[in-house]
Structure 1
Amino acid sequence: MRTGETVKMSFDHIYTRPDPRAYFGTLRELDYSIPELAKPHFRRLISEYREACGAPAPTVLDIGCSYGVNAALVKYGATMEELYHRYADRDARQRTRESLLTRDRELVRSRGRTDPVRFLGLDASEEALSYALEAGFLDGAVHADLESGEPTDEQRARLDGADLVISTGCLGYVTERTISRILGGPGGNRPWMAHFVLRMFPFEPIAETLGAAGYRTVRHEGLFRQRRFATPQERAGVLDRLSAAGVDPTGVETDGWFYAQLYTSQPHPPRPARAGNRPETRGSK
């Protein structure tokens, strides 16, 4: 592990393995829980979108989706504790990648989709996307780093198929550049959005980008635990950053946890319901 410019520990190595065992094994030790806390809010937003836009099976774009965690929770009713057992217990360490995939596919088949929604994953890790697609958690994927460049024409078509955009902690590393490229400029797609953003990162630049595109953003009440600090150095660095930004960490991050806030953004006026078929969204390189 290393500490980057953001003062938050870097766990880059756990996102590029061929299966999720390192991911869940590492994050379990830190009580990583934000996807579980986010799940009811995502489900509520999906339901509100269906009612407002008449879309029975909307497509959700998950920024920084890694191994399809949010899709597993929202579509198939999994819990973080269940996923920790599946990938971090002793039995998981003895399995092959194909054995893990077979078990995941059985979960997908046995439960069906608890919520009729399609998930499109956006991530810079080809390994994580490949696993989530093979397991059946994701319906499609865009392998891209939109911080560093524009999407290809094929990726643009896939991104334009999104009805909602969500994230659980990647904004801050991912900036308004990615959000702007998802929107695609004037006349582009205008999906609804819900982002859980760590308090150490300002949301204003993203809110301004969305505002210029005709969005209204709401910061919701409440704070959401993401994970415990990995080291005393990480804790000290985060507290210093919060104080420098004018955010009081007393009784919040001083307790030893990262905390996130929920922001939802919707275009105004709301866009009409889509007509016709959606583009195919399996893999994209």
Structure 2
Amino acid sequence: MYSDDSRYSAETTDSDGTTNSSEAAYPTGTRRFDDSGKISLDHIYTQPDPHAYFSTLRKLDYRIPQLAKPYFSQLIREFRMVRGRPPTVLDVGCSYGINAALLRCDVTFDDLHERYAPPGTRPTRDVLLARDRELVRSRDGLETSRFLGLDSSGPAISYASAAGFLDDAVHANLEDRDPTDAERERLVGTDIVVSTGCLGYVTERTIARVARAAGERRPWMAHFVLRMFPFEPVEATLAGLGYETVHVNGVFRQRRFASAEEQSLVLDTLSTVGVDPRGLEAEGWLYAQLHISRPRGVTSPSTAHPASGRRPAATSTRPVPPG
């Protein structure tokens, strides 16, 4: 675990020559990178509350949960229209319950920034939990869906549950094993599976285990995945389970690069997997795409995306503006 007092300076340069500096909680002089080239921020997911998560990611202009919110909301509305009831939504890689908080309490990501990382004195975990429980109570009935979380971080998922953002949670790493009977009991009946950034680290193994554990009626899925991580293995696995996948046109800014070194490493990864970064990652941002998968034969009154369902070519994608 790393202290918030340890910091590094991160800089990236846009095509117009503008230098963007960011700081994040990280040990001075220690920049660890994962196999994809991304800087490791694992420490922000293992704290007892979301302070480090928000104070770190704010400096990198992290925004994908906010961009994902209207798409998830629309998918929930579609499910209600098709099935006639509110869904049970499972967030894979839920961490501190961010997506559930945005949907359940109808707040913005900026609201959560101010809540967990305000200027001045840092609130204690107990104070934050008391505020969150009151927020959930005040929004009771606003969103009647049931929210589940799956994450390998005990501290993060414990906070999300204690705050009331999640109705139930599974603390597990399903990359390595099938769910236990107790975990399967929690996952059964899942109607919609969502994620914002964990795929690439979480693979088709977890997604398949979640789909099977949900029961005979396969859940709908919506995954925001960084362009450096090919979605084809997940899509092929889901196809074998009876799914059809739509690749939503457009790309979504996830965050700025933490450093020029991170950007260079990620550009190398993109080149390796055959993704053209011109106009996108080459300009200083990580970008994600949205993939929506439903069981074959499911008809929907609309779609959970504003554009046509073709896979966008890397050379022709345009960023989806913030909602």
Per the normalisation by structure 2, the TM-score is: 0.81
SS of 2:221's partner is: strand
- 2:48 corresponds to which residue? 18
Alignment of 1:252-267 (within 5 A): 252-267=280-295
Work out which of the residue numbers 148, 167, 172 in structure 2 matches 1:120.
148
When the two chains are superposed, the root-mean-square deviation of aligned CA atoms in Å is: 1.6
- Alignment partner of 1:52 is 2:118: no
Letter in 1 for 2:190: A
Distance 2:111 2:146 in 1: 22
User: Residue 282 of structure 1 corresponds to which residue in structure 2?
Assistant: none
Label 1:224 to 1:92 Cα distance change in 2 as closer, same or farther (>3 A). Answer: farther
Instruction: Structure 1: state its 5+ residue gaps.
Output: 272-285
Aligned partners of 1:183 and 1:189 also within 8 Å:
no
Q: 1:218 touches 1:264 (CA, 8 Å); kept in 2?
A: yes
Q: Which moved more, 1:114-123 or 1:191-200?
A: 114-123
Aligned residues: 269
Greater percentage in helix: 1
Aligned to 1:9: 39
Paired position in structure 2 for 1:84: 113
Letter in structure 2 aligned against 1:251: G
What is the DSSP-based 3-state SS (H/G/I as helix, E as strand, rest coil) of the residue aligned with 1:5? Answer: coil
Matching residue of 1:66: 95
Structure 1 residue 114, shift from structure 2 partner: 2.5
Q: Is contact 2:204-2:234 (8 Å) kept?
A: yes
Residue pair 1:225, 1:260 contacting (<8 A) in 2 also: yes
Post-superposition Cα deviations, 1:37-79, rounded to whole Å, max 9, x if no partner, equal 0000000001111111222x21000000000000110111111
Going from structure 1 to structure 2, the CA distance change for 1:11 and 1:186 (only over 3 Å counts) comes to closer
**Counterpart selection for 2:197 from 153, 165, 169:** 169
Distance in 2 separating the partners of 1:204 and 1:135: 36
Q: Which amino acid aligns with 2:90?
A: L
Unaligned runs of 5+ in 2: 1-30, 300-323
- 1: CA distance, partners of 2:83 / 2:298: 8
Q: Which secondary structure state, in structure 2, belongs to the residue aligned with residue 90 of structure 1?
A: coil
Q: Tell me the equivalent position of 1:103.
A: 131
Distance in 1 (alpha carbons) for counterparts of 2:39 and 2:217: 34
Letter in 2 for 1:249: P
Question: Residue type matched to 2:289 in 1?
Answer: Q
TM-score norm. by structure 1 comes to: 0.91
Percent of matched pairs sharing the same residue: 60
- The one-character-per-residue Cα deviations of 1:251-279 (angstroms, maximum 9, x if unpaired) are 001111110000000001339xxxxxxxx
CA distance in 2: counterparts of 1:62 and 1:54, whole angstroms: 22
Structure 1 distance, partners of 2:78, 2:63, is 24
Matches within 5 A, 1:1-285: 1-55=31-85, 57-91=86-120, 93=122, 95-184=123-212, 188-270=216-298
2:158 match: secondary structure: helix
Contact residue 160 and residue 188 of structure 1 kept, 8 A = no
Q: Secondary structure, in 3 states, of the residue corresponding to 1:9?
A: coil
- In 2: Cα distance, 1:151 partner to 1:26 partner: 32
Alignment match, 1:278: none
Query: CA 1:115–1:264 in 2, change beyond 3 Å: closer, same or farther?
Result: same
